[in-house]
């Protein structure tokens, strides 16, 4: 059976960019502006406070792991009052070594390892909207181990480094997201997958995206009446069933079009449209430009990407 979470991560194309050690001592606080890229943090030692805008503040302890799929603005601090140091991650250069806040001399009160990566798909905003805004996990040692591996690998220049980092970040993402108790997650993919009946419908959609699904079909797969399924799906996933299906089909279509190897009628067939013209109309309405133009633009972007990456 199809695994919707793995498919979403695969389409996001996560790529590790930067990771570092972070420590604090005495009175310290740091305020990060909104970043937009996914960030993560593993607590190695000690305790601190984390206040993410729009979320309840939490206390982070040794062994905790935090994932922010879109990294809104947040403040991290010790437990003594302190004026935050303002950092704009979009402009501030990455420190060469460990970042130390508060008292510079002596042992640190708290140590953590954190960083960020990027999603190499223009559809990141749509796909990230299916994920929790903040993931805070306690008591899963393998997450801290994975973060350490990311840090060790990112510090090397060995052959195969980028491929290993990509795979590690994919594993890190899936491990973190599947560790979230689904029944406590906000509406989205994780909460939908935690509901056995809604999960059955989601897996059917992902396994056979070509099929001309209807709400009654999906309700039958979930073993529910049409009206009960419709309401339960919307509450769990945050969107209506056919809206989710359309969004997923268009995400898959964009991925196929970026490859540039398929004719429009084949792309249309693979995501459940009977003709290229019907698909083109739906794609243009959803994306804002026709599929042919989208494919050409994606081709030009892929041509310049190697040069852009080489300059980083």
CATH number of residue 120's parent domain: 2.60.120.280
pLDDT at residue 305 tops 60:
no
pLDDT given at position 95: 62
Determine the average pLDDT of the residues in 217-232: 97
User: Is the model's pLDDT at 310 over the cut of 50?
Assistant: no
Residue 301: predicted pLDDT: 64
Domain boundary at 180, 200, 216, which? 180
39-45 and 29-32 beta bridge pairing:
unpaired
Q: Within this chain, do residues 170 and 207 fall inside the same structural domain, yes or no?
A: no
Residue 106 reports pLDDT greater than 60: yes
User: pTM for this structure?
Assistant: 0.78
305 domain residue, yes or no: no
In a domain, 22, yes or no: yes
Structural contact between residues 182 and 191, judged by C-beta atoms closer than 8 angstroms: yes
d(CA 69, CA 134): 7
Is 312 part of any domain? Answer: no
- Average pLDDT taken over every residue of the chain: 87
- Total structural domains in the chain? 2
Task: Flag whether 275 is in a domain.
Answer: yes
Residue 94: the pLDDT is 63
DSSP string, the chain: ---HHHHHHHHH-EEEEEEEEEEEESS-EEEEPP--S-EEEEEEESEEEEEETTS--EEEETT-EEEESS---EEEE-SS--PPEEE-TTTSPPPSS-EEEE--SS--SEEEEEEEEEE-STTHHHHHTTS-S-EEE-S-HHHHHHHHHHHHHHT---TTHHHHHHHHHHHHHHHHHHTS-GGGSPSSHHHHHHSHHHHHHHHHHHHTTTS---HHHHHHHHTS-HHHHHHHHHHHHSS-HHHHHHHHHHHHHHHHHHH--S-HHHHHHHTT-SSHHHHHHHHHHHHSS-HHHHHHHHHHHHHHHHHHHHH-
Segment 172-220, tens digit of pLDDT: 888 888 888 777 778 899 999 999 999 999 999 999 999 999 999 999 9
Per-residue pLDDT, averaged over 120-134, amounts to: 83
Q: Given this model, what pLDDT does residue 300 score? A: 66
- Among residues 180, 201, 235, which one ends one of the domains? 180
Q: In terms of domains, do 31 and 141 share one?
A: yes
Q: 153 and 22, same structural domain? A: yes
Considering the domain architecture, whether residues 8 and 113 belong to the same structural domain is answered as: yes
User: Does one domain contain both 34 and 172?
Assistant: yes
pLDDT in tens, 48-79: 999 999 999 999 998 899 999 999 999 999 99
pLDDT of 241 higher than 70: yes
Residues 131 and 19 in one domain: yes
Residues 19-52: b if buried by 16+ CB within 10 A, e if exposed = bbbbbbbeebbbbbbebbbbbbbbbbebebebbb
Q: Is residue 311 part of a domain?
A: no
Say how many C-beta atoms besides its own lie within 10 A of residue 312's C-beta: 5
- Residue with tokens 């070509």, as numbered in its chain: 210
CA distances from 109 to 23, 63, 280 (A): 7, 15, 58
Residues 85 and 176 in one domain: yes
Q: Residue 259 sits in which domain range? A: 189-298
The first and second tokens of residue 129, run together, are: 């909207």
Q: Is 308 inside a domain boundary?
A: no
Domain finish residue from 180, 209, 239: 180
Which strands sit side by side in the sheet containing 39-45, from one edge to the other? 99-102, 14-25, 110-119, 39-45, 65-68, 135-137
Domain co-membership, 115 together with 169: yes
Residue 150 has pLDDT above 90, yes or no: no
- The predicted-structure confidence for 245-304, as pLDDT tens digits, reads as follows 999 999 999 999 988 889 999 999 999 999 999 999 999 999 999 999 998 887 766 544
Q: What is the mean pLDDT of residues 157-171?
A: 83
Average pLDDT in the 220-240 region? 96
Query: Do 103 and 23 share a structural domain?
Result: yes
31 within a domain of the structure (yes/no): yes
Q: Which residue has the higher pLDDT, 2 or 216?
A: 216
Burial of 246 (0-12, 13-18, 19+ CB in 10 A): middle
Regarding whether 236 and 132 lie in a shared domain, the answer is no
How far apart are the C-alpha atoms of 301 and 165, rounded to whole Å?
23
Taking only the tens place, the pLDDT of each residue in 110-123 is 999 888 888 888 77
pLDDT tens column, 82-93: 999 999 988 866
One domain, residues 106 and 162: yes
For residue 85, the model assigns a pLDDT of 93
Give me the CATH number covering residue 222.
Answer: 1.10.10.60
Residue 86 placed within a domain: yes
Residues 118, 72: one domain? yes
Q: Give yes or no for residue 308 having a pLDDT over 70.
A: no
Q: What local confidence, expressed as pLDDT, does residue 96 receive?
A: 64
Q: Would you state the pLDDT for residue 181?
A: 78
- Report yes or no: 176 and 150 within 8 Å, Cβ to Cβ: no
CA–CA separation, 73 vs 133, rounded Å? Answer: 12
**Kind plus residue range of the DSSP H or E element containing 32:** strand 29-32
pLDDT reported for residue 298: 78
């Amino acid at each position: 059976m199809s695994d919707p979470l793995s498919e979403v991560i695969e389409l996001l194309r996560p790529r590790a960019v930067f990771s570092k050690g972070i420590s604090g001592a005495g009175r310290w606080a740091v305020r990060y502006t909104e970043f937009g890229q996914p960030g993560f943090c593993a607590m190695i030692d000690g305790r601190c406070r984390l206040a993410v805008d729009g979320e309840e503040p939490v206390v982070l302890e040794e062994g905790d792991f935090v994932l922010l799929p879109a990294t809104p603005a947040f403040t991290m601090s010790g437990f003594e009052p302190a004026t935050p140091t303002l950092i704009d991650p979009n402009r501030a250069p990455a420190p060469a070594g460990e970042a130390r806040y508060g008292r510079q001399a002596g042992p640190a009160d708290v140590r953590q390892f954190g960083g960020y990566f990027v999603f190499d798909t223009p559809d990141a905003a749509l796909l990230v909207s299916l994920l929790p805004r903040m993931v805070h996990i306690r008591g899963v040692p393998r997450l801290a181990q994975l973060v350490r591996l990311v840090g060790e690998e990112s510090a090397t220049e060995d052959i195969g480094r980028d491929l290993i980092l990509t795979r590690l970040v994919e594993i890190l993402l899936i491990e973190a997201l599947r560790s979230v108790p689904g029944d406590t997650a906000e509406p989205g993919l994780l909460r939908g997958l935690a509901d056995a009946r809604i999960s059955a419908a989601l897996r059917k959609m992902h396994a056979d995206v070509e099929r001309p699904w209807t709400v009654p079909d999906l309700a039958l797969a979930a073993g529910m009446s049409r009206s009960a399924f419709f309401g339960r799906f919307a509450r769990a996933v945050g969107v209506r069933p056919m809206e989710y299906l359309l969004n997923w089909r268009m995400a898959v279509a964009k991925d196929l079009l970026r490859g540039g190897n398929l004719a429009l009628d084949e792309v249309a067939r693979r995501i459940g449209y009977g003709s290229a013209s019907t698909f083109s109309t739906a794609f243009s309405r959803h994306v804002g430009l026709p599929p042919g133009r989208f494919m050409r633009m994606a081709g030009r972007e892929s041509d310049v990407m190697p040069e852009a990456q080489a300059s980083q």
